[in-house]
Structure 1
Amino acid sequence: MPKAVILDPFQEASLDRLVAAGRYGSPEEAVAAGVALLLQHEDRLGTMREAWREGVESGDYEPLDATLDALEARYAAMEKAAP
């Protein structure tokens, strides 16, 4: 079923440029390509969320903040040691 989509001026101008440049045959084709990319992105996010959940449930889990703090300390020490 067709849907009406409201674009802001920047989005509309970008879509018009893509169609005018011949990158897409119509606005509908460009929007369909954008939706396909959005679906790919959502699929990847779902995969990452599932992997994260499995990691947490495995018991081999450390909060991200602790990991980032450790990395920051490691790189700060490396910078201090560099000539």
Structure 2
Amino acid sequence: HISGMDIFARGLISADHIIKNTNYMQLRKERYASFDSGKGARFEKGELTLENLSEIARQNGEPQPKSGRQELFEQIIANAY
């Protein structure tokens, strides 16, 4: 149990460092910006179902690919303390 507590504490220290000393929160906000307005916000509020989103996708066609910058997020986390 002690080592579990140590790991938990280490995770909290790393999370604190990431939030206070990196641009993680801004990157996260940018990554999920489509949920701040329009159909994304409606889906997040429970106003649209997956079936609704499927129909919207059929109507609009393929979206333009956009990088989620996954590797950048992984590096921020890996380099935290």
Normalising by structure 2, report the TM-score.
Answer: 0.36
Larger Rg: 1
- Bigger relative contact order, structure 1 or 2, given CA contacts below 8 A and separation 6+? 2
